[in-house]
């Protein structure tokens, strides 16, 4: 089968692999009178602080106490090696005396004081916009309420200590060049690229300001303006995504400086509930795609090397058995592109990552490997639609796409080099409504795909992208259901798959074949009930196809031209309560007290557009008479469970089933049952 690679991400010169591999980690060694070339690697590690022990000296099972190491890693890549030449503009980046392109990044590690007591595995969380999420939620805090934030230090910051009790070494590193340093955020420093004569590269760039408050006074630009001539820039405003943008005259805005705009007269706030798009000539783009190589090479360094070029020891000794990544949302999309571009193979042909647990990645990549990249952008129904995120290929399988006329798949490269990791793709319902997540497992016509080798896909039923309470900017109270127990069980299953060869739980996802993956309109196809006071528009993030005028990673049509809604965006079918039928139904969904949705609608000027990452919680009536008085078609809590014991019994039955299916761990199962017993439901 012929595989056509995207001209956007992979230059023509990189379509085939060199037959040989550069030797790595060899400096100053001569063979037959010639110096062996050095390849991409971490060249130097500097440690700025060590806390030993950390977490107040707490002990975590057999792994004992942990220490914290904070510092920087310095690396370099060969821009001519096919492994790296896929990085947009890498050929225009400055080089050192060895002809290599350099970068540096923040690193942060939590390790057992005695590495021999660890489990020999690295839990490598790929940070989200510089933030560490694992310990303040899924794999740390008891109730998913952040404690230690980006610098976990105290005993309380360790929370339930899940990862430490398992004996994992834990690591983070910077990769996102758009993250500003400070506040314990992780960032990476990469070079700016220039024209061959050293002059600044310029080009059109787009900034979208989505305003959800009344206090925003300025708009920050990701890249400096190449000129402050307002006639070369355009500012527009609209309320809803479907509205036509309205131009704001130059007399109503100005550059505050080359990196900031503001409205006039001075002190005028941006209007809440609005979308502003600013198109302008920018200069000095970054080699942002180096974040892929840095992620690859840090994993390889921790996995295999014993020391850096200066002899500074690898904190993990280079004796790891396995490297697992965990990523939430933005970095999960990064890892989609990481695999697509072939970055799971280092320059020595070694596999960098053994397994990936991707949460909330949908079927998307991101605005990562482009000229004037903006890694922080994320498509939803209301925001960031004019950025190159949703592009074929979406799925792991290699398939033909009649829309683009290409045959490709996200795993095509790693399959060709036998460097694919084992992969769990886990999504909330929100990814289906807000990010066309169905494209992860359907073809361009919306039909089910066969499962790709060494992959599993799981829907966490009726869960939002981000759990929250209160209405916020939404029409209804937001969905608070926490996904963490399922994710902990899935990490355990992924580990058993890698280390023991034990097949993991089967994929749990909505499918066209069984009628659980459907079009959002008409409403009857979804089955969402007519609940008094709850609006249903059925407007998802459609499968947009834009013309960006892409040339070797450069967007030449900014803003893009929309060509057509080319790809079907399908959503999970619901039961009569409005909760998803397919997927992993946690006790809140399988023994419900409310309808929970992964989608919500905005309030205010942008009313009825999608409420971004939020879902809804729509409580059931307590009694039959109460629901009949409201005209609510959903059974009341009393009708469902009769009494408190009936509710506890229902929760216990759900928990037992999830335990049997290896979709819940015993500790979490016990907590669910205890919470049900202590609840006031029908008491």
> Beta-carbon neighbour count of residue 251 at 10 Å?
8
For residues 589 and 597, what is the distance between their CA atoms, to the nearest angstrom? Answer: 10
For residues 408 and 430, what is the distance between their CA atoms, to the nearest angstrom? Answer: 26
For residues 299 and 293, what is the distance between their CA atoms, to the nearest angstrom? Answer: 10
3-state secondary structure of 296: helix
Residue 472, judged by CB atoms within 10 A of its CB (0-12, 13-18, 19+), counts as middle
Mean pLDDT of 518-547: 91
3-state secondary structure of 405: coil
For residues 675 and 667, what is the distance between their CA atoms, to the nearest angstrom? Answer: 12
3-state secondary structure of 116: helix
With residue 460 as reference, give the H or E element that holds it.
strand 455-460
Which residues have C-beta within 8 Å of that of residue 128, sequence separation ≥ 6? 327, 328, 329, 330, 331
3-state secondary structure of 207: strand
- Among 435, 436, 361, 450, residue whose Cα is nearest residue 399: 450
The pLDDT value recorded for residue 567 is 87
Per-residue pLDDT band for 38 (boundaries 50, 70, 90) equals low
For residues 572 and 581, what is the distance between their CA atoms, to the nearest angstrom? Answer: 7
DSSP string, 587-641: HHHHS-SEEEES--BB-GGGTTSB-TT--EEEEPPSSHHHHHHHT--SPPHHHHH
DSSP letter assigned to residue 165: H
Q: Indicate the average pLDDT of the chain.
A: 92
Per-residue pLDDT band for 525 (boundaries 50, 70, 90) equals very high
* 160 pLDDT more than 50: yes
The pLDDT value recorded for residue 551 is 86
3-state secondary structure of 203: strand
Burial code (b: 16+ CB inside 10 Å, e: under 16) for 59-79 equals ebeebbbbbbbbbbbbbbbbb
0.85 exceeded by pTM = yes
For residues 392 and 342, what is the distance between their CA atoms, to the nearest angstrom? Answer: 16
pLDDT for 633-651, tens place per residue? 999 999 999 999 999 999 9
- Among 57, 56, 104, 96, residue whose Cα is nearest residue 78: 96
* 445 pLDDT more than 50: yes
pLDDT for 217-271, tens place per residue? 999 999 999 999 999 999 999 999 999 999 999 999 999 999 999 999 999 999 9
Which residues have C-beta within 8 Å of that of residue 164, sequence separation ≥ 6? 55, 60, 61, 63, 66, 110, 112, 158, 170
Which residues have C-beta within 8 Å of that of residue 17, sequence separation ≥ 6? 82, 416, 417
For residues 13 and 456, what is the distance between their CA atoms, to the nearest angstrom? Answer: 33
| Angle in degrees, CA 351, 353, 358, rounded to 5 | 140
- Among 47, 25, 46, residue whose Cα is nearest residue 37: 25
* 12 pLDDT more than 60: no
For residues 641 and 153, what is the distance between their CA atoms, to the nearest angstrom? Answer: 44
pLDDT for 652-663, tens place per residue? 999 999 999 999
Mean pLDDT of 347-362: 96
pLDDT for 168-226, tens place per residue? 999 999 999 999 999 999 999 999 999 999 999 999 999 999 999 999 999 999 999 99
Out of 331-335, 347-351, 512-516, 544-548, pick the least confident: 544-548
Phi-psi map region of 681: left, alpha, beta (phi>0 left; psi -120 to 50 alpha): beta
* 20 pLDDT more than 60: no
For residues 465 and 474, what is the distance between their CA atoms, to the nearest angstrom? Answer: 14
- HSE of 267 in the Cβ direction (CA atoms, 13 Å)? 0
Highest mean pLDDT, choosing among 30-34, 388-392, 517-521: 517-521
Higher pLDDT: 485 or 17? It is: 485
Total residues found in the chain within this entry: 683
Per-residue pLDDT band for 34 (boundaries 50, 70, 90) equals very low
For residues 587 and 385, what is the distance between their CA atoms, to the nearest angstrom? Answer: 34
Cβ distance 423 to 355 under 8 Å?
yes
pLDDT over 70, % of the chain = 92
Mean pLDDT of 58-83: 97
Structure tokens that stand for 525 in this block: 């196809």
* 15 pLDDT more than 80: no
Cβ distance 479 to 615 under 8 Å?
yes
Structure tokens that stand for 488 in this block: 């902990």
For residues 50 and 32, what is the distance between their CA atoms, to the nearest angstrom? Answer: 43
The pLDDT value recorded for residue 58 is 96
With residue 24 as reference, give the H or E element that holds it.
none
Cis (ω within 30 of 0) for the bond into 274?
A: no
Mean pLDDT of 507-511: 98
For residues 637 and 596, what is the distance between their CA atoms, to the nearest angstrom? Answer: 15
Give the strand pairing for 616-619 and 121-126. Answer: unpaired
* 592 pLDDT more than 50: yes
Per-residue pLDDT band for 39 (boundaries 50, 70, 90) equals low
Cβ distance 432 to 509 under 8 Å?
no
Structure tokens that stand for 46 in this block: 């500097």
């Amino acid at each position: 089968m012929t595989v056509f690679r995207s001209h956007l991400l992979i230059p023509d010169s990189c379509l085939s692999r060199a037959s040989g591999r550069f030797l790595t980690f060899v400096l100053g060694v001569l063979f037959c009178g010639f110096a062996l070339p050095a390849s991409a690697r971490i060249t130097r590690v500097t440690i700025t602080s060590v806390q030993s022990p950390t977490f107040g000296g707490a002990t975590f099972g057999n792994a004992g106490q942990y220490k914290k190491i904070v510092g920087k890693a310095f690396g370099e890549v060969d821009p001519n090696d096919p492994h790296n030449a896929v990085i947009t503009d890498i050929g225009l980046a400055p080089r050192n005396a060895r002809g290599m392109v350099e970068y540096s990044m923040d690193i942060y590690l939590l390790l057992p004081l005695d590495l021999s007591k660890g489990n020999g595995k690295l839990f490598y969380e790929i940070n989200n916009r510089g933030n560490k999420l694992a310990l303040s939620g899924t794999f740390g805090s008891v109730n998913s309420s952040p404690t230690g934030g980006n610098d976990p230090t105290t005993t309380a910051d360790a929370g339930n200590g899940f990862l430490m009790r398992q004996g994992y070494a834990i690591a983070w590193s910077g990769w996102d060049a758009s993250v500003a340093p400070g506040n314990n955020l992780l960032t990476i420093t990469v070079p700016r690229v220039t024209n061959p004569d050293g002059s600044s590269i310029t080009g059109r760039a787009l900034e979208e300001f989505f305003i959800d408050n009344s206090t925003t006074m300025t708009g920050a630009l990701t890249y400096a303006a190449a000129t402050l001539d307002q006639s070369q820039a355009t500012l527009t405003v609209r309320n809803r995504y479907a509205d036509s943008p309205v131009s704001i005259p130059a007399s109503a805005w100005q550059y505050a400086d080359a990196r900031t705009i503001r409205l006039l007269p001075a002190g005028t706030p941006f209007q809440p509930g609005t979308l502003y798009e600013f198109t302008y000539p920018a200069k000095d783009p970054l080699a942002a795609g180096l974040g892929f190589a840095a992620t690859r090479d840090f994993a390889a360094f921790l996995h295999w090397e014993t020391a850096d070029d200066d002899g500074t020891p690898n904190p993990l000794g280079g004796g790891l058995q396995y490297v697992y990544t965990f990523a939430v949302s933005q970095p999960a999309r990064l890892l989609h592109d990481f695999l697509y571009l072939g970055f799971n193979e280092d320059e020595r042909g070694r596999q960098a990552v053994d397994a990936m647990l991707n949460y909330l990645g949908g079927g998307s990549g991101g605005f990562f490997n482009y000229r004037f990249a903006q890694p922080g952008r994320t498509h939803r129904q209301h925001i960031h639609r004019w950025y190159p995120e949703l592009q074929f290929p979406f799925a792991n399988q290699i398939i033909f796409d009649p829309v683009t006329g290409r045959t490709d798949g996200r795993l095509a490269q790693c399959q060709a080099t036998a460097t694919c990791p084992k992969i769990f793709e886990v999504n909330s319902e929100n990814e289906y409504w807000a990010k066309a997540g169905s494209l992860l497992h359907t073809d361009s016509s919306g039909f089910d795909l066969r499962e790709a080798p060494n992959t599993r896909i799981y829907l966490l039923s009726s869960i939002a992208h981000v759990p929250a309470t209160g209405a916020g900017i939404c029409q209804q109270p937001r969905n608070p259901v926490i996904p963490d127990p399922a994710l902990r069980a899935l990490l355990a299953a992924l580990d058993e798959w890698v280390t023991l060869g034990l097949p993991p739980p089967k994929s749990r996802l909505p499918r066209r074949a069984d009628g659980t993956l459907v079009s959002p309109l008409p409403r009857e196809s979804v089955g969402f009930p007519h609940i008094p006071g709850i609006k249903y528009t059925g407007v998802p993030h459609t499968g947009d196809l834009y013309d960006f005028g892409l040339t070797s990673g450069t967007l030449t049509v900014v803003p893009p031209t929309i060509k057509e809604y080319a790809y079907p965006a399908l959503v999970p079918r619901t039961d009569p309560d409005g909760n998803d039928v397919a997927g992993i139904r946690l006790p809140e969904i399988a023994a419900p007290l409310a309808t929970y949705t992964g989608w919500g609608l905005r309030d205010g000027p942008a009313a009825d557009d999608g409420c971004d990452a939020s879902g809804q919680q729509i409580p059931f009536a307590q009694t039959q008479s109460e629901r009949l008085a409201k005209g609510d078609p959903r059974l009341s809590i009393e009708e469902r469970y009769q009494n408190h014991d009936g509710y506890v019994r229902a929760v216990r039955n759900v928990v037992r089933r999830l335990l049997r299916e290896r979709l819940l761990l015993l500790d979490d199962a016990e907590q669910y049952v205890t919470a049900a017993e202590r609840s006031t439901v029908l008491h």
